[in-house]
Amino acid sequence: MRCISLLAVLLTVLILGPHAAAAEQQTGSAHDFSFSAIDGEKLNLSDYRGKVVLVVNTASFCGYTPQYDGLQTLWERYRDKGLVVLGVPSNDFGGQEPKSEGEILGFCQGKYGVSFPLTAKMTVRGADAHPFYRWAGQVLGDEARPKWNFHKYLVSADGRLVGWFSTPTKPLSPQVTQAIDAEIASANSSKRPVNKPASGS
């Protein structure tokens, strides 16, 4: 079982290359953080313990906004296998998310059929960034901080940051889906019970 888990980690590193995060370099956990959900309720990342999470800062009036389609497809394809897609609306880049939370939710549901979780509108860069984003930048370095809308962080089932994908990387690109597959495989392998020898053997 340990060999399977190590193989999944190695596969993630090979897929992500320099965008992978080494576990030994990390302090803290994504599960330490919470957001306000778009409906005003509290959204604890610890509630997703045991699931792989793709965290994406989003915007409604961006050239990359059609990535919502791919994110929704990811959610539908993988949610029963252990993936959560989490959208984080932000007005940080180009002022491309100026609407209220209610308007954002209506747009996402009406135009793209979004059913994955969304947070309230957040700041994702600079000194005022949400604590999750400040932590991600500290763990992965400045290169991995969001430079535009639809930047993606991949969080393992145990709360580690395992990689990131820049804005142009499409949600359904092999780079993303293979990394998700590897993390889900790793999470599932850690859940498998150890077979005990039969008594008397």
User: In 97-154, which ranges are continuous DSSP H helix?
Assistant: 101-112, 131-140
Contact 136, 144 (CB under 8 A): yes
**Dist. CA 28–CA 122, nearest whole Å:** 21
Q: Which long-range contacts does 72-78 make (Cβ < 8 Å, 24+ apart)?
A: 72/112, 72/113, 72/114, 72/115, 72/116, 73/171, 73/172, 74/171, 74/172, 74/176, 74/177, 74/180, 75/115, 75/116, 78/180, 78/184
Q: Residue 35 is encoded by which pair of tokens?
A: 């957001």
Contact 136, 161 (CB under 8 A): yes
Beta bridge partners, 68, equal none
Catalytic positions are 62
Q: Residue 27 is encoded by which pair of tokens?
A: 């302090």
Give the Å distances, CA to CA, from 34 to 41, 61, 122, 195.
11, 26, 12, 37
